[in-house]
Amino acid sequence: MRIGTKRGDGVLIAGKRMEEVDEFTYLGSIVRKKGGSDKDIQARIGKATLAFAMLKPIWRSTALTTGTKLRIFASNVKAVLLYGSETLRLTKGLKQKLQVFINKSLRIILRIWWPRGICNEELWKQTGQQPIEEEIKQQASSWIGHTIRRPDEHVAKRALEWDP
């Protein structure tokens, strides 16, 4: 039997019928037939919010430098937020939701409260950050380059050339 042969209401894989669904969760990401979704971004923001909240004692600490806090933020919160983002199809609205979460988090880390507000560009300058759109583009470019350098028979490279 061939792998991935369609049979009626499902797909036959290794002799077992698999149910065909519109979406499922895989490694924490919501995979949909029609691409990325608002639900996936909301789930990512929820997981990153939880990671950020668990690190509250670090953000309040006066013993740690701002640089150390920002490295912890990048490795423990931002990594959760942007996991797999290089393969997502993001709209302007979804990118804005991600950026809002990051900006709020950075303001909490730097203890910037109203009325002592600063513009986003100044916030990014102080923290060495860049707009989320640029970061996602860099990750996507890196992923594409990595995939293109793989052998022709590798599944990731074949997936790039797949024409359904």
Which residue has tokens 């986003």?
A: 120
In terms of pLDDT, which residue wins out, 83 or 107? 107
Domain holding 27, by residue range, is 1-34
Question: 31 forms bridges with which residues in the sheet?
Answer: 24
Based on the fold, state whether residues 63 and 2 are members of the same structural domain.
no
Based on the fold, state whether residues 112 and 69 are members of the same structural domain.
yes
Q: List helix spans (H) across the chain.
A: 38-54, 56-60, 66-73, 79-82, 92-110, 120-127, 132-148, 155-160
Averaged pLDDT score across all residues of the chain: 82
pLDDT in tens, 135-164: 888 877 777 777 788 888 887 777 766 666
**Six-digit token pair at 75?**
């490795």
Based on the fold, state whether residues 28 and 71 are members of the same structural domain.
no
Query: Rounded mean pLDDT of 106-112?
Result: 94
Q: Is the dihedral of CA 143, 144, 148, 151 positive or negative?
A: positive
Query: Rounded mean pLDDT of 1-26?
Result: 66
Is the residue at 162 inside a domain? Answer: no
Based on the fold, state whether residues 21 and 62 are members of the same structural domain.
no
**pLDDT value at position 34?**
66
pLDDT in tens, 24-70: 776 666 666 666 567 778 888 999 999 999 999 999 999 999 999 99
Q: Is the dihedral of CA 82, 36, 103, 136 positive or negative?
A: positive
Q: Is the dihedral of CA 20, 22, 25, 26 positive or negative?
A: positive
Based on the fold, state whether residues 81 and 10 are members of the same structural domain.
no
**pLDDT value at position 1?**
41
Query: Rounded mean pLDDT of 69-98?
Result: 88
User: CB under 8 Å to 123, separation ≥6 — which residues?
Assistant: 103, 106, 107, 110, 112, 129
Residue 7 DSSP label: E
The DSSP code sequence of 112-132 is --TTS---HHHHHHHHT---H
Based on the fold, state whether residues 17 and 80 are members of the same structural domain.
no
> Which pTM was predicted?
0.72
Radius of gyration of the chain (CA): 20
Q: Is the dihedral of CA 58, 50, 133, 79 positive or negative?
A: positive
